[in-house]
């Protein structure tokens, strides 16, 4: 066996440059009892917590390579629910930053999330038109609500009416759902355009919804009690006579927005007092729902102006509140850019804080004092803007000491520390950056703009010291000469220009420090647009990629034509030459990478490398291995000698624009359309190509479910589980079947002899422990889907083992009950028709009832015994046990009672 070539693995270090994604929303979060200081935002596949006061990232939540689409914090601020583009909802602990549980709820991206009042239930809406209600305590789905015919835009729980969910959709409808019956009992069909958002105000007294026009519709919600006498009117709507609904929902009017275009977001504070909304323009409109006393004062004042108070004084029914009496328009907050999302927080001193995210990758916090009666001016408290590019980074470059990274975007150049991934300098370029290059010494950076200008940037002060009109069109490529004494630029004006570095006297005269400048030496005129330029390390050749799909190679000294590389079907976008000047690689828009020999221009190999345009290729220094990235978002490492792909790195969510490799070959940085810069480093972990290929094959196979996408059961065609089939559920079903088979063989052998290897791996000493261990290791949200995949003979075998499990393992009563009840619900007809299972079922009912009763008695006894011990200890010691926790609980109860009392008093108003 011959020696194999050893490759070292590259692993991701971090992703940076992104402050807040434009796709997901923003939310305030409480950390260390500090409210209004921290916000949680999405950053591509990560969730970041920013401290707005110091402008730093304090926490990070990460799952895997899926984009975050929605965020929601629980009412107690202890948990964070995150919705992803693959339909999965992950629940994180804010304190430990770890995942608590995950719900495989939707078949497409999650578009809305909301907790109930106590944070025990979570409702999620998706682009698959469904709503899923999940139980946070049980860590599994509760029900799936289907009825909308378009993606869900918002969903929330009602506080005053238990187990009622309100949802809005792009199908122009607003639906009210009962979780217990899993049906829709009321639908509002008043709108003719998409409903983009709904919000319940002031303890469910009002429902406000925003549509594609400039008005916010307001509906008044009044409970139906036994004392209510129904009055039948001929013109009354049918739904107001419904006996199914616990409330009436009638149109109360509308709020006219000052902005233009459709409503994008509707947000209310936690108590439902302040409503905020924004459209497609640069402002946030705020409305305050007044108290009943204030509303009556406004009504009295209005009636005095109309001089009708004498006539209406004797008739209290005529003194009805109008929407203008109940809603007060607050100061509109102007924003520097179009708002993408925002969140409200009303403080105890009537300070309203509004935190916004913008399309241009920055976060801003505004403050508004509601105690000021008139003309309260909003104040900008903090802004996160310098930590990232406002637009996509298009080019990256490494410094010669491997410590700094330069990235250029549509308006600026940023210098980053490779070690800490923080911004060192920000330089306003005044144009679109398309190419960058560090000058030897790392004191200056050359920047090529889309206008053809060549900028010389001094790193230390972070200023542009010279602007050279190098080309008439785009300056697509800048490369240093091998002797480091100059550079070569290629542009869209069909020319390649040669420059030499010179130090000239500064503006302060002869005594001033000299500054770097470029001196134009020569020009190579070509017939097509130059897309890329590279120079061989021996200084002998210069390669130029042209728009006519060819690469022309010239002698460096005389600029005489040497070779033409043709074979690509589309233009060559990028290329690179190896350190020994023997190989040249070219990446094209035809998705291929070709490896050529520099001696004769022969094509060694053509690789179908990516699924889209190859945007960058670069050799690792002193090797024949190279990296490539493309518009499919992937980064791949290749061997130019063996023509093999070494590894595929986790790339960008979207297109990858450029990459750069550090001079020592240990680091790789890339930029993409997801606005992230991703850094990778080379580890000491060796790679075996066969293992890597096998892992990629497994990932590809796992992406397609072996049993199909749908969960179907014979006899139950309309089964709507609150979960979806995943790889975890399929593996769970396989483990259960394998466990039953191994247990059956072991018992047939008499249960003697050595344990089967699988039982030994699960640390089980008998078949009962083995089965319970397998069931308990299945994720709670996947358990039902795993049981659904079991064939009926395996279900019968599993049920036959339940009575013995129940009597011997009473510590697992809850899990056993969950499994048995689900199997009975799904396989009810075949189980009832199977006479063999009749004695088994009778025994299951008897043993489970006894086990549940015993567990209930034990919990009750322990609870009351603990209360008795607490009372005795407090009486003996003369102090309160768990004093701090008790004080916090008392304060929390007081705040809750005050909040509920204020909600009962308040009346909603609309303008």
Q: Is 857 helix (H, G, I), strand (E, B) or coil?
A: helix
**Residue 873: CB partners within 8 Å, gap ≥ 6?**
881
Cα–Cα distance for residue pair 596/603, rounded to 1 Å: 4
Q: What is the pLDDT of residue 481?
A: 94
Q: In the chain, pLDDT over 70 holds for what percent of residues?
A: 91
The pLDDT assigned to 241 comes to 43
What is the arithmetic mean of pLDDT over 474-501? Answer: 93
How would you class 612 by CB atoms within 10 Å of its CB: exposed for 0-12, middle for 13-18, buried for 19 or more?
middle
Q: What is the dihedral of CA 729, 730, 732, 736, to 10 degrees?
A: 140
CA distance 442 to 423: 16
User: How would residue 880 be classed by pLDDT, with cut points 50, 70 and 90?
Assistant: low
The structure's pTM equals 0.85
CATH superfamily, domain 63-189, is: YVTN repeat-like/Quinoprotein amine dehydrogenase (2.130.10.10)
Report whether pLDDT(157) > 60.
Answer: yes
Dist. CA 794–CA 741, nearest whole Å: 9
Confidence of residue 362 (pLDDT cuts 50, 70, 90): very high
What pLDDT was estimated at residue 4?
Answer: 58
**pLDDT score at 722:** 82
pLDDT band (50, 70, 90) for residue 315:
very low
Q: How many CB atoms lie within 10 A of CB 17?
A: 25
Above 80 in pLDDT, residue 41? yes
User: Does residue 162 register a pLDDT over 90?
Assistant: no
Question: Which tokens hold the place of 152?
Answer: 């869900």
Confidence of residue 491 (pLDDT cuts 50, 70, 90): very high
What is the structure's pLDDT at 509? 56
Give mean pLDDT, residues 566-575: 94
| Rounded average pLDDT over 373-383 | 83
pLDDT value at residue 1: 33
Q: Which of 134-143, 243-252, 649-658 has the lowest mean pLDDT?
A: 243-252
Mean pLDDT of 150-171: 93
Is pLDDT of 406 > 90? yes
Q: What is the pLDDT of residues 59-92, one digit of tens each?
A: 999 988 899 999 999 999 999 999 999 999 999 9
Residue 414 near residue 407 (C-beta atoms within 8 A): yes
Q: Does 351 have pLDDT greater than 80? A: yes
Q: What is the mean pLDDT of the chain?
A: 87
Q: Which residue intervals of 253-322 are DSSP H helices?
A: 292-306, 309-313
Lowest mean pLDDT among 443-447, 515-519, 904-908: 904-908
Distance of CA 725 to the CA centre of its chain: 21
Q: Where are the alpha helices (DSSP H) in 767-834?
A: 767-776, 780-788, 792-808, 813-826, 828-833
As a whole number of Å, the end-to-end CA separation of the chain is: 83
Residue 232: pLDDT above 60? no
How far apart CA 263 and CA 280 sit, in angstroms, is: 7
Structure tokens at 67: 């984009």
What burial letters (b/e) apply to 444-461, b meaning 16+ CB within 10 Å? bbbbbbbbbbbbbbbbee
* Cβ pair 696, 113 in contact under 8 A: no
Pair 742, 770: CB distance under 8 Å: yes
pLDDT of the residue at 508: 59
Residue reference for tokens 């567990």: 855
The closest of 183, 181, 99, 111 to 147, measured between CA atoms, is 183
pLDDT at residue 2 is higher than 60: no
- How far apart CA 50 and CA 342 sit, in angstroms, is 15
For the segment 517-554, what is each residue's pLDDT rounded down to a tens digit?
999 999 999 999 999 999 999 999 999 999 999 999 99
Residue range 844-863: average pLDDT?
91
Confidence of residue 567 (pLDDT cuts 50, 70, 90): very high
Q: What number of other Cβ atoms are within 10 A of residue 632's Cβ?
A: 19
Closest CA to 356 of 262, 278, 410: 278
Instruction: State the maximum Cα–Cα separation within the chain, in Å, rounded to a whole number.
Output: 108
As a whole number of angstroms, the distance between CA 122 and CA 157 comes to 9
Q: Which of 2-11, 218-227, 432-441 has the highest mean pLDDT?
A: 432-441
Reported confidence tier of residue 706, pLDDT bands at 50, 70, 90: low
598: left (phi over 0), alpha (psi -120 to 50) or beta: alpha
Q: 736-761 pLDDT, tens per residue?
A: 999 999 988 888 887 777 888 888 88
- d(CA 787, CA 241) in angstroms, rounded, equals 43
3-state secondary structure of 221: strand
Measure the CA–CA gap between 679 and 404, rounded to whole angstroms: 12
Q: Distances from the Cα of 138 to the Cαs of 130, 726, 875, in angstroms?
A: 21, 19, 37
Q: What digits encode the pLDDT tens for the residues 478-489? A: 999 999 999 999
Residue 106 scores a pLDDT above 80:
yes
- pLDDT at residue 298 above 80? no
State how far the Cα of 112 lies from the Cα of 123, in Å rounded to an integer: 8
pLDDT of residue 555: 94
């Amino acid at each position: 066996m011959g020696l194999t070539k050893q490759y070292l693995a590259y692993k991701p270090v971090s992703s940076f440059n992104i402050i807040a994604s434009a796709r997901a929303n923003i939310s305030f979060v409480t950390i260390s009892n500090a409210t209004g200081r921290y916000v949680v935002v999405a950053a591509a596949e990560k969730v970041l917590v920013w401290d707005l006061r110091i402008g730093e990232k304090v926490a990070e939540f990460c799952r895997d390579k899926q984009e975050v689409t929605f965020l929601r914090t629980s009412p107690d601020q202890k948990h964070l629910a995150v919705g992803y583009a693959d339909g999965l909802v992950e629940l994180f602990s804010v304190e430990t930053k770890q995942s608590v549980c995950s719900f495989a709820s939707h078949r497409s991206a999650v578009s809305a999330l909301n907790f109930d009042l106590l944070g025990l239930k979570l409702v999620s809406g998706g682009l698959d038109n469904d709503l899923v209600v999940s139980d946070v305590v049980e860590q599994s789905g509760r029900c799936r609500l289907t009825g909308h015919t378009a993606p869900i835009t918002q969903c929330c729980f009602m506080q005053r009416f238990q187990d009622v969910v309100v949802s809005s959709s792009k199908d122009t409808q607003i639906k009210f759902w009962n979780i217990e019956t899993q049906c829709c009992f009321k639908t509002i069909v008043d709108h003719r355009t998409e409903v983009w958002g709904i919000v319940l105000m002031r303890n469910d007294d009002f429902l406000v919804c925003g549509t594609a026009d400039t008005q916010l519709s307001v509906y008044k919600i009044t409970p139906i009690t036994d004392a209510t006498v129904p009055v039948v009117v001929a013109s009354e709507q049918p739904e107001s006579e419904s006996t199914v609904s616990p409330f009436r929902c009638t149109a109360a009017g509308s709020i006219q927005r000052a902005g233009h275009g459709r409503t994008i977001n509707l947000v209310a504070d936690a108590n439902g007092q302040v409503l905020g909304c924004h459209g497609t323009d640069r402002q946030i409109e705020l409305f305050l729902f007044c108290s009943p006393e204030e509303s009556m004062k406004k009504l009295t004042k209005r009636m005095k102006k109309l001089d009708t108070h004498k006539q209406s004084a004797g008739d209290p029914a005529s003194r009805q509140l109008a929407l203008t009496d109940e809603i007060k328009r607050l100061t509109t907050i102007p924003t520097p850019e179009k708002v993408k999302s925002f969140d409200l927080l009303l403080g105890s001193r009537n300070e309203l804080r509004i935190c916004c995210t913008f399309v241009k990758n920055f976060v801003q916090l505004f403050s508004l004092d509601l105690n000021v009666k008139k003309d309260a001016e909003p104040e900008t408290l903090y802004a996160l803007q310098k930590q990232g590019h406002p637009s996509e980074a298009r080019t990256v470059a490494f410094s010669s000491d491997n410590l700094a990274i330069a990235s250029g975007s549509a308006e600026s150049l940023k210098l980053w520390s490779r070690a800490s991934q923080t911004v060192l300098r920000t330089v306003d370029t005044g144009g679109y950056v398309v190419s960058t290059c560090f000058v030897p010494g790392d004191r200056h950076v050359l920047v090529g703009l889309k206008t053809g200008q060549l900028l010389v940037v001094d790193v230390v002060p972070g200023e542009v010291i010279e602007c050279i009109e190098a080309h008439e069109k785009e300056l697509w490529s800048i490369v240093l000469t091998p002797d480091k004494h100059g550079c070569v630029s290629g542009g869209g004006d069909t020319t390649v220009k040669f420059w030499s570095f010179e130090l000239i006297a500064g503006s302060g005269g002869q005594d001033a420090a000299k500054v770097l400048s470029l001196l134009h030496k020569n020009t190579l005129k070509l017939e097509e647009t130059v897309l890329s330029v590279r120079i061989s390390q021996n200084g002998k050749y210069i390669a130029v990629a042209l728009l006519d799909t060819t690469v022309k190679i010239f002698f460096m000294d005389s600029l005489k034509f040497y070779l033409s590389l043709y074979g690509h079907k589309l233009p060559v976008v990028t290329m690179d030459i190896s350190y020994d000047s023997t190989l040249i690689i070219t990446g094209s828009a035809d998705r291929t990478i070709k490896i050529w020999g520099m001696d004769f221009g022969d094509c060694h190999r053509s690789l179908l490398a990516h699924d889209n345009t190859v945007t960058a290729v670069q050799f690792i220094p002193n090797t024949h291995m190279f990296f490539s990235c493309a518009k499919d978002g992937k980064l791949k490492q290749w061997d130019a000698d063996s023509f093999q792909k070494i590894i595929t790195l986790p790339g960008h969510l979207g297109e990858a624009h450029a990459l750069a490799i550090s001079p020592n070959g240990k680091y790789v940085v890339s930029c993409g359309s997801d606005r992230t810069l991703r850094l990778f480093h080379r580890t000491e972990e060796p790679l075996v190509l066969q293992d890597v290929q096998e892992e990629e094959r497994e990932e590809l196979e796992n992406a397609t479910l072996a049993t199909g996408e749908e969960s179907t059961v014979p006899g139950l065609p309309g089964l709507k589980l609150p979960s979806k089939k995943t790889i975890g559920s399929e593996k769970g079903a396989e483990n259960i079947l394998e466990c039953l088979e191994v247990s059956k063989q072991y018992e047939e052998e008499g249960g003697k002899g050595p344990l089967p290897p699988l039982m030994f791996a699960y640390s089980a000493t008998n078949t009962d422990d083995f089965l319970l261990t397998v069931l308990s290791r299945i994720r709670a949200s996947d358990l039902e889907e795993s049981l659904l995949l079991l064939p009926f003979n395996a279900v019968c075998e599993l049920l036959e083992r339940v009575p013995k499990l129940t009597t011997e393992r009473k510590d697992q009563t809850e899990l056993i009950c969950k499994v048995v009840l689900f199997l009975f619900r799904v396989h009810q007809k075949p189980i009832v028709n199977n006479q063999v299972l009749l004695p088994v079922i009778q025994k299951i009912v008897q043993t489970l009832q006894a086990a549940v009763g015993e567990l209930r008695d034990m919990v009750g006894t322990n609870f009351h015994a603990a209360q008795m011990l607490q009372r005795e200890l407090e009486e003996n010691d003369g102090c309160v046990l768990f004093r701090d926790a008790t004080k916090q609980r008392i304060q929390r109860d007081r705040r809750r009672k005050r909040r509920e009392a204020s909600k009962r008093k308040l009346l909603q108003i609309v303008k």
